């Protein structure tokens, strides 16, 4: 049976692969991404406000504002009270048991800090911190994925929107790696992403039957 260390490392590696691949492709589709952190205030904690209801309200507000093209991924963690941890700016802190959700989003263009902060305050009476452009995709993917390698008493979770790349994209990368011995690069996935949902579904069905996409004559086949 694999050790916990092995399982956590595998979990982190998968998260990193999903994050960096998605950021590379989505940058080609939408341009620059944005990243920020949803925090949990002392007031929200004391008042017993639902963490997940607050997060869902913010995501609904973002979807209403930016439409179906809005895509996101987040990593959530809750260090046990008293634990020492390093925040998104590299500062060592002592946890008070508050939840944090680190998001990376595409499809928003310019994301107005005041609007975002006001929406989150209404949704959860807490603050948004660290809003900035995605400058180093690799550094951000490593930072977010590292949370998935933590065990013990710290809670952690990663989620990707259903349209992070395209429906069935992670399944496709696994088939591709099995067939060719390597993951598809971001340019290849970008071309698939731009095919359209109907063609993608057709190609995925063919992939399961014959082991490769038939769409690109100049690509692997």
Token output for 202: 């057709």
CA distance 196 to 221: 20
Output the pLDDT for position 85. Answer: 64
Token output for 87: 């925040």
CA distance 55 to 117: 13
CA distance 214 to 217: 7
Contacting residues for 113 by C-beta, under 8 A, at least 6 apart: 128, 131
Whether residue 217 is predicted with pLDDT greater than 50 in this model: the reply is no
Residue 151 binned pLDDT confidence (cut-offs 50, 70, 90) = low
- Of 35-39, 92-96, 158-162, 196-200, the range with the lowest mean pLDDT is 92-96
Output the pLDDT for position 149. Answer: 85
Residue 19 binned pLDDT confidence (cut-offs 50, 70, 90) = very high
Residue 43 binned pLDDT confidence (cut-offs 50, 70, 90) = very high
pTM: 0.85
> What is the mean predicted confidence (pLDDT) over 91-107?
85
Residue 141: enclosing H or E segment and its boundaries?
Answer: helix 137-146
**In whole angstroms, how large is the CA radius of gyration of the chain?**
19
> What is the mean predicted confidence (pLDDT) over 91-108?
86
Q: Nearest 5°: CA angle at 218, between 215 and 221?
A: 60
């Amino acid at each position: 049976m694999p050790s916990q260390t092995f399982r956590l490392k595998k979990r982190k590696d998968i998260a990193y692969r999903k994050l960096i691949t998605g950021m590379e492709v989505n940058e080609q589709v939408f341009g620059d991404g944005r990243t920020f952190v949803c925090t949990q205030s002392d007031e929200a904690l004391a008042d017993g406000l639902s963490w997940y209801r607050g997060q869902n309200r913010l995501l609904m507000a973002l979807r209403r504002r930016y439409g179906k093209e809005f895509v996101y991924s987040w990593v959530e963690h809750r260090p046990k009270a008293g634990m020492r941890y390093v925040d998104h700016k590299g500062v060592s802190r002592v946890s008070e048991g508050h939840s944090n959700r680190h998001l990376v989003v595409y499809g928003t263009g310019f994301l107005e800090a005041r609007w975002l902060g006001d929406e989150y305050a209404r949704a959860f009476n807490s603050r948004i911190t660290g809003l900035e452009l995605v400058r180093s995709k690799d550094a951000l993917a490593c930072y977010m994925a590292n949370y998935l390698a933590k065990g013990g008493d710290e809670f952690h979770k990663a989620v990707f929107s259903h349209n992070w790349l395209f429906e069935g994209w992670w399944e496709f990368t696994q088939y591709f790696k099995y067939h060719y011995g390597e993951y598809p690069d971001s340019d290849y996935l970008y071309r698939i992403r731009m095919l359209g949902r109907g063609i993608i579904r057709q190609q995925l069905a063919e992939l399961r039957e014959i082991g490769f996409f038939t769409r690109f004559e100049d690509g692997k086949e």
